[in-house]
Amino acid sequence: MRILLLCYCFIVSKTFVCFHFNRTTLSKGRIMDVDSQPTMEETVLVGDDLMLGPPSPLIPPEIASHVLEGVNLCDGILRNLFLCLQVNDIEPFCQEEIALYRECAEKRDKELRKRLQDSEYRLGLSMPLDQAKERASQLESETTTLERRLILASGMEGAEGFRQRWSLHGRLTDTKKRMEALKEGLENRKKDDEPVAVSVKGSTGKRWLFW
């Protein structure tokens, strides 16, 4: 007679749930332990798996139309994930949706970060000098604020503390890289034959057009 023992390993503070299958065989009044044989193990994706990498970058509204143009924002996949969770309530029934969104989000965020830094570099090259310097000062001030908030969040415990540190660290890293790209553009300013970024005021406020 064979008895199948199912053991669950819930890792609350981590990002997965393990299922271990071990068999114990009863034969001729003896118990033979076969735990030394290979076990089947499955990793189930949960919501925290979407926080393994850096958070999605924040897009400044004044350059959002330029940065977001033509980028797959994964909104359709995210909608399917929410619908799946609404129907099934728990993540193990939405493995395909979580995996698809994570893959799409990684590609999207990589492209957005590249475009953000490229946009800041071009603004450093082409904005009026006084405005470019003012933008650099604003980014430096934002960096200092994020660093202070990250220090304060370091004392927070539990899941909420982890989420705040994860979010702040990502924003701080992105802001520093944007500032570095802007300053690099300032250092490499050329003559009037460079493309010009023009400030335009519309119904949604000031934005920048790139040529």
- Read off the pLDDT of residues 18-68 as tens digits, 9 standing for 90 and up: 323 233 233 333 333 444 444 444 567 766 667 778 899 999 999 999 899
- Cα separation, 1 vs 130, in Å, equals 83
Copy the structure tokens of residue 102. 């994570």
Copy the structure tokens of residue 151. 């220090």
Closest CA to 178 of 112, 127, 104: 112
pLDDT for 126-173, tens place per residue? 999 999 999 999 999 999 999 999 999 998 988 889 899 999 999 999
* 79, HSE (Cβ side, Cα atoms, 13 Å): 4
pTM of the model: 0.68
pLDDT bin (cut points 50, 70, 90) of residue 190 is low
Residue position matching structure tokens 């798996």: 49
- From the number of C-beta atoms within 10 Å of its C-beta (0-12, 13-18, 19+), residue 139 rates as buried
Q: How many Å separate Cα 37 from the centre of its chain?
A: 39
Residue position matching structure tokens 């493309």: 195
